[in-house]
A and B are shown apart, each in its own frame.
Chain A
Amino acid sequence: MLKITIGQYYPVQSPIHRLDARMKLLCTIIFITVLFFIGNFLGYAFAAVFLAGMIKLSKVPPKYLIRGLRAIIFIIFFTAFLNIFFTAGGDVIFSWGPIQITQQGLVNALRMAVRLVMLIIGSSMLTLTTTPIQLTEAIEFGLSPFKKIGVPAHEIAMMLTIALRFIPTLMEEMDKIMKAQMARGADFDTGGLFKKAKSLVPLLVPLFISSFRRADELALAMEARCYRGDVGRTRMKQMKMRFSDYQALAVMGLFFATILGIERLAGLWGVW
């Protein structure tokens, strides 16, 4: 079974863990935006050093982050691959029939791969250091200005919470159904892609049916506990911005400025 580390919380105590979820969300958004501003490798190197520093500070083992990357390695290779073969311009390094590999293509491919890896690691830093509940609260807070134009901020946050709550339950259930089917001779491991996909049908149908039943019962239980949307609701854990949160924002601002500076200098010196 594929272990999904994206979106999972890594429970340790660290300065990053202690930051307000809203600030972490904001910083992550800034980081991702900055990634798309970077055009040269000096900038990427600096961003990588910055990210490594953050990982060190968060006390999340790097091994854990790399394991999270494994799930999307295919996407990274695929994008890199497309970039190598479909970028025109620059010196031709290698050509074979209609296929041409250009220097620009290689540079683009590498740039895209580095950008994707940093994007994934950067955003997993958010989910690894923030409990799902805090994260959904931050998202709810972030969306609340859009409530006026009809964005159901509270409902979206509640849906996310419930989805996260039921991932392990449904995984367990899927395992159970799989074993039950295997005990009756179902085969999930052999055959081609098509046959494998087809063998998932007897797995997904019972899983769907039971999810609907669960949803029904959960709705009843929520209603029984006086849930009626966010009407007159309070929160046990109040979010509070502290001095360290503003420090984090300042660090992020500094990072942004440095990247812009590097870009500027690289432009002057003509480094790609």
Chain B
Amino acid sequence: MEYIVKTENLVFEYQVLPTEEGGETQREAALAGVDITVKQGEFVAVLGHNGSGKSTLAKQINCLLLPTSGTVWVKGIATADGDRAWDIRSSVGMVFQNPDNQIIATIVEEDVAFGPENLGVAPAEIRKRVNGALAAVGMTQYAGNPPHYLSGGQKQRVAIAGILAMRPDIIVLDEPTAMLDPIGRREVMDVVKILNREEGITIIFITHFMDEAVQADRVIVMEEGKIAMEGTPHAVFSRIDELKAIGLDVPQCAEIGLRLRQAGIDMPTDILTIDELVEAICQYK
């Protein structure tokens, strides 16, 4: 099986400056030996609370950070020396947390054009890509607007369109919904799912919302720079006790299933969505 992203014993350390005078500079590992593999067209969610190293992992895939030791391969290219950062970045798009701090231009369509302009795409082709990308995220009617009149969810969709116009194989989203309201979160999630299913784009979705992770093909749980759990959403979220031990929530419906089981009601252990919960309760005799 060919992997589009692969990391091998990936370690990333950063310096912690001393807090008091005369103290020593320490090195702390944000990633302490991470091995992941992502297949072409997969939708992987990376879970973990603050400081678990999930954002650092995301930046490694896009060459924004380089490994202290170990290797990251993206489409068979090792990121190690940074020489081919530009090639890697042109096939790995990245969406960040704060929608305001990643929009560069004063007009929506100009911002979407920024990426392909950097790639040196011909003007007529850029126009085509911009229109296509805006249509894909449902923002065509806002093409001529200034971005500061848009809602958070809309801005994040513009950011995704800006990545799409670069025609990437992989999109890494680093907590794209953390600053959004529930409506904005759903907008972004819907767009991401469509891109994954219809365009076949590989998605690496970093989040701390369980209900979003549930919708992925595979979930990776990170804790203190290491991979704590990995598997399908059903497999991961049925290990409720372990998740709680790391300090993570479980999806609401899984929690209800657990409580019902604890109350002596026979419920399956892999309930994740509302539909599954409804089904299980209806089947209960």
Contacts and interface: CB of A to CB of B under 8 A. Distances in A.
Interface of A: 131-133, 161-162, 164-165, 168-169, 172, 214, 217-218, 220-228, 232-238
Given A223-B89, A225-B162, A132 B101 contact: no
B169 to A, nearest CB: 14
Contact of B117 (A132, A162, A172, A234): A234
B14 to A, nearest CB: 15
Nearest to B162: A225
Given A133-B105, A218-B104, A237-B113, 12 more contacts: A162-B104, A165-B103, A172-B148, A214-B100, A220-B96, A222-B114, A224-B62, A225-B166, A226-B89, A226-B115, A227-B118, A234-B116
A173 B103 CA distance: 16
A131 B107 contact: yes
B31 to A, nearest CB: 18
27 contacts: A131-B107, A133-B106, A161-B106, A165-B147, A168-B148, A169-B100, A217-B96, A217-B98, A217-B101, A218-B101, A218-B104, A221-B96, A221-B101, A222-B114, A224-B93, A225-B89, A226-B119, A226-B166, A227-B114, A227-B118, A234-B120, A234-B122, A235-B123, A236-B110, A236-B113, A236-B116, A236-B130
B64 interface: yes
User: What does DSSP make chain B's interface, helix, strand, loop or mixed?
Assistant: helix
Interface residues of B, number: 39
B90 interface: yes
B104 A234 contact: no
A217 B166 contact: no
A92 B118 CA distance: 65
B86 A161 contact: no
A232 B89 contact: no
B69 interface: no
Contacts of B93: 224-225
